Structure 1
Amino acid sequence: MKPMLERKRRARINRCLDELKELMVSALQAEGENVSKLEKADILELTVRHLHKLRAHRSLRLTPEAAYADRFRAGFTHCAAEVSQYIASTVATPAPVDAAVGAKLLQHLGSCIRRMDTTPAASPSPVGAPQSYGGAYTPPASPQDDATSVKMEEALPVWRPW
């Protein structure tokens, strides 16, 4: 059983190396380099070198943080457009969204989008942290949360280092 698995594994490796070789030969020929016979180690070395070159070239275009911020902005804008369409579609229904509430919501979403457009990308932070999107969106606190936090602040003693 093991020799058969080993043969299949080697066959997969060789297929992938052959595919890499074809890709690398065409990529290197496009760059004007002449490549004749390549051994497995040569294929891997050329691939690694080529990937490093691509990474260096692409890093000048757009940093990952900026790409995340751009994707977030695009998603947020799309979501705001969906909300706008939904509000507009409920006008003719038996239970439309209150016009004042809808207008206020759309105004808020618009101001969030404008803030995102004027806020520079934040410094690198863990993915999913609010700061990674320029800090543009912070969920509003409800009046109940504000009252609870005031009561807790009054009840708990404040630690001071001195």
Structure 2
Amino acid sequence: MTACSVAHDVDKHPTAKEERKLRKPLIERKRRERINNCLDQLKETVIGAFRLDQSKLEKADILEMTVKHLQNIQNTQIHDPTLGLEAQQRYSTGYIQCMHEVHNMLLTCDWMDKTLGSRLLNHLLKSLPRSSSGECQPRHDAPLRPLPASPLRGGSKRPPPQQERPELHSSRLGMMEMWRPW
């Protein structure tokens, strides 16, 4: 082999088709690795759900048991509607509590445009999830008061927030037990 032919081989770049041929085994290996990792996670979940001691399960067994486990979960939710209703009520209660916190925050923000704050609260109120058995009551029954006029728009100056809202401290204590949807 001459120096000229070696230099010619170094300059030669593989074509797109050749690159795909080279990458295909790597991509397939990564894909199989992801599948096996997911199957291992499913295996751990299924073993825990069915309380099995078998550490050696075939992939088909893992998938079948996963399907059965998911069907069991769906059947319990269908046959026990109180679970869904209870979760919906907890969500609605948390939503209302969050609305109260937003309202409290808007009352203390002097820089916030009051009409924008009112629009935000109206939007949150319209988006309030409704339960099928009536409305859920919040844990703290502090009514939403209308936002006072903005001092920048010619309204009167408000007293400091601690004088205006004595129940604000008690609602902060309740935040520790507040359910949040995230």
Determine if the TM-score, normalized by the shorter chain, exceeds 0.5.
Answer: no
Structure 1 length-normalised TM = 0.45
Q: With CA pairs under 8 Å and 6+ residues apart, which has the higher RCO, 1 or 2?
A: 2
Structure 2 length-normalised TM = 0.41
Structure showing greater radius of gyration is 2
